[in-house]
A = this chain, B = another copy of it.
Amino acid sequence: MKLSTKGRYGVKAMFDLALHGGDSPLPLKTIAGRQEISEPYLEQLISVLRKDGLVKSVRGAQGGYLLAHEPDQITVGSIIRSLEGSMAPADCVIEDDPADCSKADCCITRGIWEKIRISIDNVIDSITLQDMIDEYNELRKQNKNYHI
């Protein structure tokens, strides 16, 4: 039940964008360097985030990426689901289109997988990039020793 690097890198990159990005686009090279992620690999990930409408891109020199919405409108859940798909631990409890199973209505284990999915979704959908920024600033206030 590991999250792959897709989800983890994606959240890190989006947080970096929320923290350091402003009105002018932030080039991927900067994000990748700061977060220590392979740039061409991150490129593939952010391409997915762009297609899902989480970031906007500006092409050409001085180009880069921008958050498509305010940080308090972007949840960690939307980032992770964009890159990893549903957080369902089994295909039979994927929210939008569950794999059909003949025993679905009387399967005891199914209820467990569903509870797990709901509990994960509750956590990740309740955290926004703004929450992460606030926490970062709080931590920064307490001990000067901060990086990302």
**Residue positions of A touching B, CB distance < 8 A:** 1-3, 7-8, 11-12, 15, 76, 84, 87-91, 103, 106-109, 111-113, 115-116, 119-120, 122-124, 127, 132, 135-136, 139, 143, 145-148
Given contacts A12-B109, A106-B146, A116-B123, could you give 6 more A-B pairs where the C-beta distance is less than 8 Å? A1-B2, A3-B116, A107-B148, A111-B135, A112-B123, A120-B120
Residue ID in chain B nearest A5 by CB atoms:
B90
Q: Are B1 and A120 in contact (CB under 8 A)?
A: yes
CB contact under 8 A between A15 and B120, given known A1-B89, A2-B89, A3-B1: no
A147 nearest CB across to chain B (Å) = 6
Q: Are A145 and B1 in contact (CB under 8 A)?
A: no
CB contact under 8 A between A124 and B135, given known A1-B87, A3-B90, A107-B148: no
Which residues of chain B come closer than 8 Å to A120, judged between CB atoms? 1, 116, 119-120
Residue ID in chain B nearest A2 by CB atoms:
B89
Residue ID in chain B nearest A103 by CB atoms:
B147
